[in-house]
Structure formats: C-alpha cells, structure tokens
Structure 1
Amino acid sequence: MEVELTEARVQLSNKDKDLHAKDVEIAELKRRLNDQIDRCESLEIDLEAEKVKAADAEEARAVSTAALNVAQTNYSEAQGIVDTLVSEAEWMRTRGVVLVANSILNANELDRAVAALTDAARAVGHRGGYLECADHVEQMLGQEFDTSHCSVTEHADAALASAENSYDNLSLPIMELVVESLKKDDWCQRLKAILDPPVTVELSDEEPAGDDGDDDGNDDDGEDDGDDGDDRREE
C-alpha cells in the first residue's frame, strides 16, 4: 500500500513538473505571440506611413508633371513668339522699310505739295529776276521802268509762304495708316496688307474652242449623201 502511495506521489510530482514545464512553455509562447502582435502593429504603422509617403510622392509627381507640361507649353508659346518676331523683323528689314519709304515718296499728296512749292518758288524767282532786270534798265536809261507788265504778281511771295507752310505741315494718309498699324500687336500683318498686298491673278472665263468646223463638215457630208440618194431615186 505504501509502495502504491509512493508511486502515486512520484507520478503526481512528475505531473506537477510536466505542468510547470507546460506553464513555462505556454508563458514563452504567449510572450512570443505578444512580440509578434507588437511587431505586426509596428509593421502596420510603418505600412501606413509608407502609404502616406507613397501618396505624397504621387501627388508631388503629379504636380511636377503638371508644372513640366505648363513649362513646355510656355516654352513653345515663347518660341513661337520669338520666331514670329524674328520673321517680322526680317521682313521689316528686307522689305518693310523700302515699302514705307516708297509709299511716302509716291504719295499723291506729296507730289501735289512739291509741285505747288516748286511752282511757287519758280514764280518768285521769275518775278525777282524780272525786277532785277527792270532795275538794271532803269539805271541804264535813267528813268523808271513799268513793272506792272510782269506775268507774276506781287502776291507770289505770299503764295510761296503758303506753299512752304502746306509742305511743312503736310499730312499723308499712308503715314497715318503706318503709324496706327505700328501701335497694334499684329502690326506686321497690317503693314503687309497696306504696303505689300498679295497679287491676285484673274482667271479667264473663256472655254477652249471646239471642233465646230469638223462637225459642220460631217453634217455637210451627211446632207450631200442624202441628196445623192435622192438623185439616184429620181433616176
């Protein structure tokens, strides 16, 4: 009986040891589980932080892409403006200045003003020469010479002054158009339309002549054949 009791005690002691070992093992597993849970939570926090960083990076990339597109568009527009300015400056240098000068020199208003000024100056010179000759005659003959027969009246000086004033204050419509065009953004196109308009070619409405003579000849031949047939029938 005592032996059985001893064996039972030994078994209970062994079971207690096993249970204690199991408790230690369970505690270790719980510790590891808690460590894994803490690690997972830390990884989740890190993952959320990385997601935020990725979202920020994507937003920054989108902003950079939009800014790059705007910069490229602005560059293209600026390059187009520069090319236009270079082209317009080249046209102005090679043709525009000459066309403006020719339009001024060939203006009818300038022709009339210069003609009037020339005529007035010629008249004043003519009267001055006439009076000078009359003075020489008076000195030679010793008597007064009648200058009323001069074809140029004494109003020639006033006419010359008026012509000079008109010339000095001459206003050319072509110059007004040029000045107004230069104030606009599309000044080059306006100047080209005024000074260098495109040449239009008028197309003729005449149609190419047909072979009417040949058709008439064929008709005549047909009529002749018909007449010959009638003649044969009469015979």
Structure 2
Amino acid sequence: MKVIDAAALDYKTLNEVLRQPEHDYVIEGCCGQRFIGAGMSDRNITVNGISGNALGAYLNNASITVNANAQDAVGDTMNAGKILIHGSAGDAAGYAMRGGKIYVRDHAGYRAGIHMKEYKKKVPIMIIGGCAGSFLGEYQAGGILIVLGLQEDHHPIIGNFPCTGMHGGKLFLRGDCRNLKFPPQVTADIASFEDLQGIMDDLKEYCSDFHYDLKTILSSPFTLVTPNSKNPYKQMYVAN
C-alpha cells in the first residue's frame, strides 16, 4: 500500500503518482484535486478528504472509496468498477455511466444519473442514501437508479423535473411517491416483490458498505418509475 500526502500536490501530479505500478493507494489531505482515478483499472484507491470534479471518470474496473464528500461528475462515463462516497456527491453524479456501481451514503445534487445507459448484461447502478436534486434521471437510457431518502432532514426525496426525457432504465424511490409530479412519458407504480428482487443483492451490498439495516430500508414500499412510451420525444418536437 502506498500512502500519498496530497496536501501540496496539484491534480496532475497526484494522478501521475496513482499511475505507478501499485495496486493500493491511500490519499491523505485531499482538497478538491480533480480526475482522481480517471480511466484507471486494477487499483484500490482510498481518499481521505474531499475529491474534486470527475472522480473516477472513465473508470475501468477499479475501486475508489471517499471518506468525505465528492464534488461534481462522480463516475462520469464510468465503464466498470465501484465508487463509494461516505458523504454526499455534487451535481451530475453518474453522468453517462455505462457500467459499474456508485454508492452514495448521503445526498446527491442536480442531474444525478443523467444519460445513464446500458448494453446487454452491462447495467450500471447508482444508489443514493439520502435525497437527490432536480432533474434526476434526465434522459436516462438504461441502468438502475435508487434513491432511499434515509436522511431525516424533512427534505423531499427528489427535486423538481425528475425523469425528464427518460427513455430507458429504471428508477426506484423508497416510499409511495406516486403523488410526485412526473412527466407524461413515464409511469410510476408501487414496485412489486419481483421488482425488488431484481435489486436485492445491490441493496444488501449497500447496507453492508454503509452499515445500514436492510429490514429498515425494506420497511417502506418502493415506487418504480419506467418509461411508458417508445418515443418519449414525439410531443416535444414535430410529429413523426
């Protein structure tokens, strides 16, 4: 294991160190350095401090743990691997991610899961333990988004304009959220037992990572949001 004191390092120097032939790194004193772990594989990186934008961008089968908050664009276009955030994530977490897992213990900002996609058995998943900001799942084309709303701060579980332009994938919201305002291009229903079985392994893993109780999470129903049209844009543009 290699310990890196990042207090006096810029983002470029820090990432050059991470590309050395080691597999396990601990970054101490991180304070906003960008692109940590970008494009890397076969690495276990622990970040003590706040990571900057684009943590784990283009990640390719590496593991990153942040023991604090993370800034914007966590896992941008992530391909494989796992990112754990022991805090909150900024805007656009999981932007265009196409594989792997992002688990956020607390909250996420605007546009989490925007442009998420999947291909055959390559299905990305992001779980947010607290609340998510506006435009959640915007233009989602695939993958699984789960928002648990576990933080007791009386904020709504999601912000405004969720699932705008959604045309693939699934969004699970803990609680009966059918009264929330969704666009007409999606359908929101209480998740069935079979629906929940499809995410059960991920929920168990999330609870293990962050020491949550699975029974507590499952004590509330879940709302499943999916696209209800093969062409969700037909009313936004000209008829076709």
Question: TM-score band (shorter)?
Answer: under 0.3
**Greater gyration radius:** 1
Structure scoring higher RCO (CA < 8 A, sep ≥ 6) equals 1
Bigger helix share? 1
Q: TM-score, normalised by structure 2?
A: 0.16
Bigger strand share? 2
Q: TM-score, normalised by structure 1?
A: 0.16
